[in-house]
Chains A and B, each alone.
Chain A
């Protein structure tokens, strides 16, 4: 299954810091994301994964190179236009969840819709629906402080997908989770890519996540050094397993 790329990054270079502390964190990386795939970005610490992810997510602007989101060149956009692109196309998942501690699970999802101008009952219903979808129907009114790490990250996943973005970007989504919760979140991301036909890119260190990937991109010292792809038509056993369990549940 091949689709038009939703994100194209060409020769991205990013310098961080200034003066003597200036670091070239990304040194000419190119990457394309298509719908329906879970891509893992793997590499050693300090290799520029987070920096590249921030650029792909329109959070940082590259020093040079071209980034196209849904065919639109982002080169000359200002901060508000970048925010606009994030709002329209992106969902984010963070290592430390970044939930609002004073809002309930449901409200945490709703606020992501609210910043997109989606308000009222429709937004509340949609938030409930996605939380149900990530298996948190029984936790709608809980505050993040009362949720386990795995539950919090699932709220974050719900928040990221509530507005149906074409691209979901995750930075080390499993790093703070134990094995079981880590697997649950990766299975969720794989399912989002497959069933909802989104592009999911996850930065990770974690070898346990490999089996969920359609594609693994390797980065070292700011450069893309390799790419592996799962043979077409072959589902990871975990995906198959989860799909089976969901069917049994229904």
Chain B
């Protein structure tokens, strides 16, 4: 009967129910989009780091992100690292902004990534056309399909100019988007060095450890041996990149702020409608109390009202959020939805509605069953 009464109380006033649901729905959509974009941005920022097989990253001192390394590390650091106990392999990786001159004129910036797949460090991922072998061909390079327009090319076989040399597209990735809006271009280590007119420097060394080696210990040892370089764990480097792009630029703050605002607005709307619904049904709650119901019983009715609103509002909200997700797929910042995020959104909705129920519960706690006779 608790659920029945809660349902009837809710559906009794359809307009108020609509307001409640729209409130929850907007709030869920807002939070889902903001957090979905945040997740999307995070994924973009860390995709290359996550795909690299490295226990530790050696970067030039002060490197702020994957894209911000320069080419300051020399073979000397590599030899020092290799001589450190516990280290199995030290794999060079070049990452650097470069000028991309379009075949038909004009130019844009790309992030050129130089890596040798054979080394087992970073292997270009999500290739949909061509293979890593194709990238080894002279002048070869891989870019992402979704950026062809911006790069002023049509597809495989087209040529362009990067820094000092000509490149030809031999492979295509799909969906490897860049948060900086400068597309990633993948080539071999040596070609990337040649394009930048450099022979043996590098941006990062990916350090792989021997089985059983203690990551922290090796990190500490490396740090003390290498001057002017920093040694970061996978997680540390990831966090640093996220911090750089999401928080130094304010983008993440705006997204998280939007999400907080969304949940706040939702809570206020639901609290308001639930409170006014409770006020309208106060005489019924007083009757219930006079009939001998415990206050817990009445609280359950109100919580059930909140819970039903939460479930219905969530289902509507998440459907709209998923629709938005589909439409955002090929934009500069695609939204991401994971089962985890969907679950947290549901938890948030339920929490929001439970908090909203508090004001109504406080109101109903004050009812005097004696009022039943004075009507």
Q: A114 to chain B: closest CB distance in Å? A: 4
Stretch of A62-70, A92-100, A190-198, A238-246 on the interface side: A92-100
- Residues in A with CB closer than 8 Å to B225 are none
Contact A100 B373, beta carbon cutoff 8 Å = no
A230 proximity list for chain B (CB < 8 A):
none
Residue among B288, B289, B369 making CB contact with A111, cutoff 8 Å: B288
Q: Does B344 contact A (CB under 8 A)?
A: no
- Stretch from A4-12, A36-44, A83-91, A219-227 that touches the partner: A83-91
Q: Which of B273-299 contact A (CB under 8 A)?
A: 283-284, 287-295, 297
A18 at the interface (CB under 8 A from B): no
Contact of A116 with B by CB under 8 A: yes
Instruction: Give the most central of B1, B9, B375: most A CB within 10 Å.
Output: B1
Q: Does B5 contact A (CB under 8 A)?
A: yes
Instruction: Please measure, in the bound complex, the distance between the C-alpha atom of A12 and the C-alpha atom of B110, giving whole angstroms.
Output: 90
B154 contacts partner chain A, Cβ-Cβ < 8 Å: no
Q: Which residues of A contact B329 (CB under 8 A)?
A: none
Main secondary structure of the interface of B (DSSP, over half): helix
Of A102-110, A131-139, A179-187, A204-212, the segment with at least 4 beta carbons within 8 Å of chain B is A102-110
Interface residue from B2, B12, B283, B295 paired with A98 (Cβ < 8 Å)? B283
Picked from B11, B291, B374, the residue with its CB within 8 Å of the CB of A112 is: B291
Contact partners of B2 in chain A: CB under 8 A: 114
Q: Which of A109-139 touch B at CB < 8 Å?
A: 110-112, 114-116, 119
- Please, which residues of chain A bring their CB within 8 A of the CB of B210? none
Interface check B370, CB cutoff 8 A: yes
B residues near A112, Cβ cutoff 8 Å: 291
Confirm or deny: B372 has a beta carbon within 8 angstroms of a beta carbon on chain A: yes
Q: Are B372 and A83 in contact (CB under 8 A)?
A: no
Q: List the B side residues contacting A79 at CB < 8 Å.
A: 295
Contact of B9 among A57, A80, A102 (CB under 8 A): A102
B293 touching A171 by the CB < 8 A rule? no
Number of A-B contacts defined by CB within 8 Å: 81
With beta carbons under 8 angstroms apart, the residue of B284, B294, B372 that contacts A100 is B284
Whether A115 lies near B293 (C-beta < 8 A) is yes
> Is B108 among interface residues, defined by CB-CB distance under 8 A?
no
Partner of B1, one of A60, A80, A114: A114
Q: Bound complex: CA of A102 vs CA of B280, how far in Å?
A: 12
Check A83 against B292 for contact (C-beta < 8 Å): yes
Known A50-B374, A87-B292; judge A102-B287 contact (CB<8 A).
Answer: no
B8 within 8 A of A: yes
Q: Complex formed: what's the CA distance from A103 to B290 in Å?
A: 17
A29 contacts chain B at the CB level, 8 A cutoff? no
Q: Among B290, B291, B372, which residue has the most Cβ atoms of chain A within 10 A?
A: B291
A217 is an interface residue with CB less than 8 A from chain B: no
Q: Are A115 and B288 in contact (CB under 8 A)?
A: yes
Expressed in whole angstroms, the Cα–Cα distance for A119 and B11 within the complex equals 23
Is the pair B1, A111 in contact by a Cβ cutoff of 8 Å? yes
CA distance A50 to B290 in the complex (A): 14
Cα A110 to Cα B297 with chains together (Å): 14
Measured in the bound complex, the distance between the Cα atoms of B288 and A116 in whole Å is 11
CB-CB under 8 A for A102 and B12, given A59-B290, A111-B288: yes
Residues of B within 8 A of A103 (CB): 4-5, 8
In the complex, what residue of chain A is closest to B374 when comparing beta carbons? A50
Q: Which of B9, B11, B292, B370 contacts A54 (CB 8 A)?
A: B370
B370 adjacent to A110 (CB under 8 Å): no
Once A50-B373, A92-B372, A115-B288 are accepted as A-B contacts, the answer to whether A83 and B293 lie under 8 Å apart by CB is yes
Instruction: Please list 18 pairs of residues, one from A and one from B, whose beta carbons are closer than 8 Å in the complex, sorted by A's number.
Output: A79-B295, A80-B295, A86-B291, A86-B292, A87-B291, A94-B373, A95-B375, A98-B284, A98-B287, A98-B372, A101-B12, A110-B1, A111-B291, A114-B1, A115-B288, A115-B291, A115-B294, A119-B1
Interface residues of A (CB under 8 A from B): 50, 53-54, 57, 59-60, 79-80, 83-88, 90, 92, 94-96, 98, 100-103, 107, 110-112, 114-116, 119, 159, 171
What 4 A-B pairs have minimum CB-CB distances, sorted nearest first?
A87-B292, A102-B8, A86-B292, A115-B293
Question: Known contacts A100-B8, A102-B12, A111-B1; can you find 6 more A-B pairs with CB under 8 A?
Answer: A59-B369, A94-B287, A98-B372, A110-B1, A114-B1, A115-B288
